[in-house]
Amino acid sequence: MMNLTNARIVLPGGVTTGTLHVDGGRLAAPSADSGLGETVDLGGRHVVPGFVDMHVHGGAGASYQTGRPEEAEKAARFHLGHGTTTTVASLVTGTPDELANAVASLADLAADGLIAGVHLEGPYLARDRCGAHDPGLLRHPDRAEFAHLARLGRGHLRMITLAPELPGALGLVRDAASAGVIAAVGHTDAPGETARTAFDAGATVATHLFNAMRPLHHREGGPVAAALNDPRVTAELINDGVHVEAAVARLALAAAPGRVALITDAMAAAGMGDGDYRLGVMDVQVRDGRATLAGGTSIAGSTITMADAFRRAVAVLGLPIEAAAVAASLVPARALGLDSRVGSLEPGKDADLVVLNDDMSVHRVMKAGHWV
């Protein structure tokens, strides 16, 4: 049992000053026994829910793509140290064997609780919007391949991003929904009507809104308008100052309050500085913190942490701290179906939390009641 006193507790509705009680790895309501445990004075610091990153490829020089447990653990531990207490490991487009091996390996780590599941970003993506994915490995939706990958995931395949305009895509969206896998619209050149049809078929996420998709136009809103106008859809947003201009990010947040999820889309270079890296089979160069395909201009993921995305939401976008916490924790938790356990500081939920300094930098991180 632990009592975190003198805390500025960030809740979805605002900030309150008080004490957080932790018992058995969960947040607890005050009781007659509350004073029996260890007391930690937080010195008036803000406490926010542990961040939930539903789209991240790696960090600290390690990539989830390899499927190697030691790399996955290195990446997950790095992001945990920066406040991400719930991680969904994302895979870029690969060969059938590569994806099968990675999904099977990462499913074991999800079963052990290291990650919260696996996200397939591809391989069923639009060639003209493939971004940092190898166009030579893209293919049309294959329902048999998806079913095989879902079996290998053993319930831990959490999401798949696909372009809904491709042949067979809507059937795969329905298959995903039936299998309990989130279908996400992304890397797409679909017009708005097609995107809306995909959402009606069961897709519930827009993958990194604005990026690698047909742009918003006043005579054809495309997938951006379709996602922002649909109350069933969660819109991912990479808030690194590179992928989306601050003014545009504010528009998205205003258009879809409570439905924008901050993500990192971080690759192995996160936490490593400038240099040369790999994303799947693609060579990536990082210069001044910006990751692009080697020799080109296509952005290849980000180098940020969720702590960076959260801090930018407050300091640059001007969000109240409680709204930033909702975007970094509760919205993605809801999208993933995990909000009964994580995403907000409520009694009965996991004791996953981040203690922040006055400048919104991370002071301490707790996962399941243990400081990390």
Residues assigned a catalytic role? 265
Q: In what order do the strands lie in the sheet with 275-279?
A: 275-279, 282-287, 290-293
- Which are the contacts of 21, defined by CB distance < 8 A and separation ≥ 6? 1, 2, 3, 4, 27, 28, 29, 30, 31, 34, 37, 347
Is residue 349 within 8 Å of residue 12, measured between CB atoms? Answer: no
Please report, in range form, the residues annotated as the binding site: 121, 132, 187, 208, 211-212, 219, 243, 299-301
Phi, then psi, of 166 in degrees rounded to 5: -75, 150
Please report, in range form, the residues annotated as the binding site for Zn(2+): 121, 187, 208
Q: Tell me whether residue 279 is exposed, middle or buried, using C-beta atoms within 10 angstroms of its C-beta: 0 to 12, 13 to 18, 19 or more.
A: buried
Q: Among 360, 371, 370, which Cα is nearest to 46's?
A: 360
- Which are the contacts of 209, defined by CB distance < 8 A and separation ≥ 6? 224, 227, 228, 235, 236, 237, 244, 252, 260
Rounded to the nearest angstrom, the gap between the alpha carbon of residue 110 and the centroid of all alpha carbons in its chain is 15
Is residue 64 within 8 Å of residue 72, measured between CB atoms? Answer: yes
Please report, in range form, the residues annotated as the binding site for substrate: 132, 211-212, 219, 243, 299-301
- Rounded to whole angstroms, the Cα distance separating 139 from 122 reads 9
Query: What's the one-letter identity of residue 85?
Result: T
Residue 340, classed as helix, strand or coil, is coil
Phi, then psi, of 155 in degrees rounded to 5: 90, 0
